[in-house]
Every structure is written in structure tokens, then in C-alpha cells.
Amino acid sequence: MDLITITYMIIALPLLGAVVAGIFGKVIGRTATHRVVISLIAVSFALSCYLFYVMVLLNYPTITTVLYTWAHAGTIQMDVSFLIDKLSAVMACIVTFISFMVYVYTIGYMADDPGYQRFFSYISLFTFSMLVLVLADNFLLLFFGWEGVGLVSYLLIGFWFKRDTATLGSLKAFIVNRVGDLGFLLGIALILTDFGSLQYQAVFAEAPKLLNSLWVFPGGASMTTVTLTCLLLFIGAMGKSAQVPLHVWLPESMEGPTPISALIHAATMVTAGIYMVTRLSPIFEYSPAALSVILVIGATTCFFMGLLAVTQFDIKRVIAYSTLSQLGYMAVALGVSAYDAAIFHLVTHAFFKALLFLAAGSVIIALHHEQDMRKMGGLARYLPVTYFTFLIGSLALSALPPFAGFYSKDVIIEATRLSTLPGAGYAYFCVQAGAFFTALYTFRALFLTFHTEERFDPALQGKIHESPWVVLLPLLALAVPSVIVGALLIGPMLFSTPRLLGDSVFILPQHDVIKQLGADYHGVLAMAFEAMNGLTFWLVIAGVAAAWIFNVGFTGWTATLKQRFSWLYAILVHKYGFDEFNQAVLVKGTRETGEALYTVSDLKVIDGICVNGSGEAVRWFARVSRHLQTGYLYHYTLVMVLGLMCFLVWYVR
């Protein structure tokens, strides 16, 4: 098979799985459903690996393929076309591998759920949408995949639709993403207006020509067209990749089953924004102002969302807030033009974040769906494999050498230090402080769950046991890359010539901070040993120590700190008031605005004036005019004479 056919199969196989599970699942039964769906995603993953081998390792040139032309609008041709290059090959490989692991895990986690086949249908459709997004060759198809993952995420987060919290969580995710998508759609519309095309290559070739083009707003304010386009596109990325202030939906996505939490947070939906900015680097590179905005927003997300994880007791929400923080790191990398480093962290994060979510799911299964860490403790001896894999994920997330997260996160921190963009100093403080808090909340979760005294329900005594093999196998499979993938990829992805992603990423020479870092790179072992001489390493060690002190060693200190800094604790518990603000201003404000419009325009204007008012006017006129009908002949004669006199006067004049 040629690469074009292979690409079509990679995309089509998950879609076929969604159709089989969704339409025929009840007929063929549970076992046949998961066998078919998992076999199809396994083949898709194998083909993605082959695509990676050919495109990346054999350095095959970029391919563009048109499946069919969807529509013509004047001179604009809208194609369903796909781009096969190094970046799309890497993304397809990650998406299909994480999906494969989640599908296998789902057999054990959802075994007793009545919506078993429906769940497999949804996650297959989710994978299909993400593959369309990362393999698209134009903004039209990118938007199709973009909206596809948004729609299916709504179905998956609200999968247990009989729970009010799940329904509200899915609605929040859907609505917040629509806010971001509005900006994204406006950005695409601006691209179509200015470039007259939706094809990536045509737009990229024309981008430098718009450097001096200005967009003038009412009132005289102006902005370069490139900057306005980039900011609108990044609003879309803020929604999908949950950057402040459009982050509020991501913790609520925890209301869905754990497998979808892993799928959304690890390698699919939340990374769509990071991928999109990287793919569009030939546009973003020409707007330092937009890059500064991305840098500051990413740094704010990294630091302040990491703080929130420290106060959470739901094990899944701790990991969810860690996802927000890590997405902030990726956005910081985009802001300093370290696009390769952003994708590198995306790859390593996919493995250890999926590992942490699935390990947390194993704990939840063992405790009969208990998620509160205050009702756990001492589980290491009951769940040794789960504990081992959770520990590996924690070490990787905390960025301790030589685990995968160390290499990708350390490069982002150093790249931020070298950046000269406005806001780089603030961003450097945030990413360094984020390293401390990442280790703190990660090991806090580890200690509260697997160490300390046993706090679970006494009725579970003797009933807690390790999860079945279909749950443990994905954990072990994800644990291996969580250890080694950083060391394997850092050289090829960042410091080789050419870099692994090749010309899929465009960086102006004056923005290439990765090239500056390359002068001090002497191999993975040297980097791991040299880490002990840097501030970041000791901040991580301090975070681990603080987690042990406050949760294992001197637990009384935690209550003292809460009491002494009660104002700060209240702010963190209320998540900086974003939810309250949205509820009071946006939700309540929108509802009250609607009620006011209904009262004024509908009741008073339309009903009161137009409908009822016209009837009242007719009745009033009838009441007045009926007095002219007296029934007396001399009255009618008088009116006729007066009328004739008026006519004669008018005629004579």
C-alpha cells in the first residue's frame, strides 16, 4: 500500500469502529464489540507507526492528497485533503497509541456499565475526529475535526447523563469551547478574506506579505492583520487547550468515566490547541505581539492552575489541574517560539498523564468508585502494580531525571530564560515556581492515596485487590515510555540537524532559542547529571519534601497553615472565583438580559403594541365612530351640507 492509502485507513478505521459499535453493538454483543473496535484501532496504530517510520526515520518528503472537492465558492476551492508530513505522522502515532491503551483499559473499567457499546462508539468517533484534525491540509478540514472533538467530548463527559453533575459538566465544556471556537472561526474567516484560500501552504506563502497590512478598528485604533489573525486563532486554542480564562471546563470533564478523562487530557482534545499553533507557526512567527500574549497566558495557566491542585482532594481533579498546568508549559514554549519543545512535551506528557489517569482509575475501581483521597491511604500494599505505575507517572510529571518529563520540561524552562520577548521574565518565574508546585501536588496525591494510615471504609477491608489484567496491561505499557521516551527523543527532536519535525515547523532565526540551547547540550546523561546544579531540580526536591512533611511527617502543620493563611486557602478553594464570576455575571447576566428583552420587546412591544395594540386601536376607533350613527335624518342632512360647503370652499380656492 502507498502512504496515501495508509493515511486514509488510519483515519477511516476508527470511524468504522464507531459505526460498528454504535449501530450493531447491541446485535453483536459486548465481547464482539470491543474485539472489533480494539482490532481496528490496533491496525490504525500499526499503520501510524509505519507512517512515522517512513516520514520521520526515512525522511520521506511531504505529501498532500485530495480525497475529493467538497465545494466551489467563486475562485475558492474547498477540498477534503490531507497533509502527510513529520508533524502529522508524530501526532497520528501518539493519538492512536494512547487511544489503543484507553480502549483496552475500557474493557475492565466499563465492564458493568449498561452503555458499554455506546461508550466504545463515542471514543472511536473521538479518535476519528482527532485524526482528521491532525492530518488536515486546510483550515476547513481542521475546523471539522476541531468541532468534532468538541461535540464528542460533550457526549463523553455527559456519558452518565442521569447524573446532574455530569450533565452540567458536559454543558460547561460545550459552551466554553464554543466561546473559543467563535474566535477560531473569526480567525479562519479573516484568513479567507486576506489570503483568498484555506489551504495551509497557500496561506503560509503569503503570510510575510501582510506584515505591513493594518486592520483599523472603529475609533482609529489599529493592529497588524497578522497579529489580529493570530490572536483570534489563539482564542480557539485557549478554549481547546484550556488556557486561562477559558480553563473552567477541564476540571468538570472529570464527571465522565476515567478512560475518557485519560483520552481527553493526555493526547487528544486538550493538545489540539498546541498542535494548531505549531502547525500555523509560519503565521505566528510574524507576530511577536501575539507570541507575547501566548507566553503570558501560558505562564499564568502554568502557575495559578498548579496552585489549585494543592487544595483538591478528588484524585482525578488533582490530575486534571496538573493537566492545566502542563498545558501552560506547552503554551509558554509556543510563546518563546520553541515549537519543537512544545510538541516534545506534548509527547512525553501524553504517556505519563495517561498513565496517571488510568492508575487513578485502577484505585477508583478497587475502592468501588471512591475518588476522595481523604478516604484512601495505605493502598500500596493492596495495589502494588498500580502503586508502582502511579509512582513512575508521578516522577515523570514532577520532572525528576531521568524520567521523560524532566527532559521536555527542563528545555521549556531554559528556553524561557533565554527569550527576549516582553513577558519572558514573568513567564520564567511562573515556570520555575510551577516546578515546585507540580512536585508538591503530585506527591501529595501519591502519599495520601498509597501511604499514610488507612482511611477507607472498613466495609472494604478484605475486598480491595489489584485490578484485572486488561486494566494493568495498559498501565505497564505506558510506564515504559514514561521512563525512556524523553531520553530517546530529546536529541532527534531538539538538537539534531535537521530536527525530527523538519520543515513542519517554521522558526525565524532571531527567535530560535532551541538553537542557543543546543550549544550547551552534551547528551542525555550529562543533562541528567547537570540538572543537580540547577535551580529547577532543587525546587522539585523541595516540592517532594514539602508533600511528605505536610501529609506524612507533620500532618498537624497542614491545619496550622490553613488557619494562618485562611484567606489564601479560601481563594484557592473557590478557584479564584472564576466559577462564581461566570455564574453571577455570564450565566445570571445572560438570563436576566433575556428576561428583560422578553419583558420589553416580546410582551410590551410585540404583544402590547403590535398585536394587542392594533386590536385596541380598532376598538377605540369603532367606539368613537359609532357616535356618528345617530339614526336622525336632519343630522345626516347637516353633515351633507357641511361637506358640500367644505368642498366648494376648497374648489374655489
pLDDT the model gives residue 249: 85
pLDDT the model gives residue 355: 93
Q: Please check the confidence at residue 210 and state whether its pLDDT lies above 80.
A: no
User: pLDDT tier at 617 (50, 70, 90 boundaries)?
Assistant: confident
pLDDT the model gives residue 441: 93
Nearest alpha-carbon partner for 47 in 87, 11, 83:
11
Helix or strand run (H / E) with residue 622: helix 612-625
Q: Please check the confidence at residue 631 and state whether its pLDDT lies above 80.
A: no
The fraction of the chain above a pLDDT of 90, given in percent, is 49
At 56-108, the pLDDT tens digits run: 999 899 898 888 888 877 777 888 899 999 999 999 999 999 999 999 999 98
As given in the structure block, the three cell numbers for residue 80 are 477534503
SS (H, E, C) 61-89: CCEEEEEEEEEEECCEEEEEEEEECHHHH
User: pLDDT tier at 112 (50, 70, 90 boundaries)?
Assistant: confident
pLDDT the model gives residue 163: 84
Q: Please check the confidence at residue 266 and state whether its pLDDT lies above 80.
A: no
| Cβ-defined contacts of 345-348 (< 8 Å, 24+) | 345/405, 345/408, 345/409, 345/411, 345/412, 346/94, 346/267, 346/271, 346/274, 346/275, 347/90, 347/94, 347/408, 347/485, 347/489, 348/396, 348/404, 348/405, 348/407, 348/408, 348/482, 348/485, 348/486, 348/489
User: pLDDT tier at 396 (50, 70, 90 boundaries)?
Assistant: very high
Pairwise CA distance, residues 27 & 363, whole Å: 33
- Taking residues 246-254, report their average pLDDT: 85
What is the average pLDDT value for the chain, to the nearest integer?
Answer: 88
Classify 110 as helix, strand or coil. coil
- Taking residues 626-643, report their average pLDDT: 79
Select the highest-mean-pLDDT range: 429-443, 545-559, 606-620, 626-640. Answer: 429-443
